[in-house]
Structures are given as C-alpha cells and as structure tokens.
C-alpha cells in the first residue's frame, strides 16, 4: 500500500490534491473488496464485523 501512496504522490503537502486522494481512496477500497471476496471464496470468517468493530466492554467498565 505504501507503493501506491508513493506512486500517486503529486503534491508536497500532506493532504495532496483531489486526484491523488481519489486514487488513494480507490486503493483502499480495492484492498477491502479483494479481502472480502477472498475470504468469502475460501469460506473464512470475517473477523472484523459490526459486532467486533468496537472494543468489547469487559467487567461492566
């Protein structure tokens, strides 16, 4: 993923311009999509879901 960040680096500021951020967003979405499709194809459980996204409260704290 760092490779794509460096490839699409087009501005010297931390935020970059719209084109760079659009490609960065597409890179993230592609990675998520391929991960979900891979896990479904292999029949593996998604370990991060709506119930496990937030930290679980233990001992009522």
Q: What pLDDT digit, counting tens, does each position of 26-47 carry?
A: 999 999 999 999 999 999 887 8
Whether 23 and 16 have beta carbons less than 8 Å apart is answered as no
Choice between 22 and 29, residue whose per-residue pLDDT is larger: 29
Name the residue ranges covered by the structural domains of the chain.
Answer: 1-61
Q: Is the pLDDT of residue 58 over 80?
A: no
Whether 8 and 21 have beta carbons less than 8 Å apart is answered as no
CA distances to 15, 33, 35 from 39, in Å:
32, 10, 6
pLDDT of residue 31: 93
Average pLDDT over residues 46-61: 66
Whether 24 and 31 have beta carbons less than 8 Å apart is answered as no
Helix intervals (H) in the chain:
2-7, 18-42
Mean pLDDT of the chain: 78
pTM above 0.75, yes or no: no
């Amino acid at each position: 993923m760092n490779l794509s960040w460096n490839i699409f680096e087009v501005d010297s500021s931390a935020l970059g311009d719209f084109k760079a951020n659009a490609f960065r967003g597409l890179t993230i979405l592609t990675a998520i999509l391929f991960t979900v499709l891979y896990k479904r194809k292999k029949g593996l459980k998604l370990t991060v879901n709506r119930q496990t996204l937030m930290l679980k409260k233990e001992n009522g704290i």
